[in-house]
Amino acid sequence: MSLPHPTAQQLALYAGHDLNWFHLLRIRMHLGRCEQCRSRVDCQQAAMEGLQAGALDLPEGVDWPMLAAEMKANIHLGLEAGEIVDRVPRRRFDPTGESIAWRAALVCASLAVIIGSGWYLHRARDPYFLAQRPMAEATPEGIELKAKTSALTLLAPATERLTTAEIGEGLQTRYVDQDSGQVTIQHVFSE
């Protein structure tokens, strides 16, 4: 039993090494027995080699200087058109231009809103801030009297400092002044 002849397209693909392994094997077996098809493949391969050899040669009668001038003009035209088209989007989206400053400002403003909201909500939860009464507080620097927009801090050395509360009155801290050797007692009064 003989296999049917491959189609012209299959032979062309075979000549160009573009078939998968199954079809390649089947056609190769057929070519081993069919002189007619083998000659057609040879013609296909000769034509392909001819095309590849002449691909880099310019056609006869081509005016290269004129063609080059036309290509340059088209390139310049394309660049100018591109600039016009890009001008608006570049201002809006270019990450390396001015927009970076506005983006940073937008981020800072957003952060400020978030931090401000958190601060306000924290204050709102604190009944003493709600009352807007002065509050006495021990801080790393000393004892502080905080009011709505102001603060008074009595400064004292961090070491050797004893801080206690005057309940309902304020805070007291005492330390020994290292220059004079005297005990110094400071008070802040919240009322």
Partner 1 sequence: MSSRNSALLMFVALALPAQMPEIPLDARTAFRVVVPADSPVTLVSGDWGASKATARGGALQVDVRGVLQLKNSGTRHVRGVTLFVLAQEVTPGGKASVTLPSLDVEPGESFPIRIDLRLMRPLAAVPGALVEVSLDGVLFDDLGFYGPNRLNSRRAMTAWELEARRDRKHFLAVLGQNGPEGLRREMVSTLARLTEQPRVEMQTARLGRVTNQPVGAEQQMEFAFLHLPEAPVDLVSGFVRVAGAEARMPRIEVRNRSTRTVRSVEVGWLLKDDQGKQYYAGEMPAEINLAAGDKMELVKDAVLRFSKPIAGLSAFVSNVEFADGSLWVPQRAAVLPVSPEEQRLADLYRRKGLDAVQTELRRLR
List interacting residues with partner 1 (CB under 8 A). Answer: 97-102, 104-105, 108, 125, 127-128, 130-131, 133-139, 141-142, 145, 147, 149-156, 158, 160-172, 174, 176-191
Is the distance from CB of 41 to CB of 19 less than 8 angstroms? no
Using CB atoms within 10 A of its CB, is residue 66 exposed (0-12), middle (13-18) or buried (19+)? Answer: exposed
Letter for the amino acid at 156?
Answer: A
| 17 backbone φψ class: left, alpha, beta (φ>0; ψ -120 to 50) | left
Considering the complex, state which of residue 113 and residue 162 has its C-beta at the smaller distance from partner 1: 162
If the CB atoms of residues 104 and 113 are measured against partner 1, the closer one turns out to be 104
Task: Locate 78 and state its tokens.
Answer: 């394309």
Comparing CA positions, the residue from 41, 35, 33 lying closest to residue 7 is 41
Distance CA 102, CA 112 (A): 15
The residue among 69 and 111 lying less far from partner 1, judged by its C-beta, is: 111
- What's the start-to-end Cα distance of the chain, in Å? 116
Least distance between partner 1 and beta carbon 123 (Å): 12
Residue 46 or 124 with smaller CB distance to partner 1: 124
Q: How far is the CB of 80 from partner 1 (least distance, A)?
A: 24
Residue 147 Cβ, how far from partner 1 at the closest point, in Å?
5
CB 180 → partner 1: shortest distance, Å? 6
Minimum distance of partner 1 from residue 53's CB (angstroms): 55
Give the residue among 25, 46, 21 at the shortest CA–CA distance from 6: 25
- Of 40 and 146, the one with the shorter C-beta distance to partner 1 is 146
Query: Coil, strand, or helix at residue 190?
Result: coil
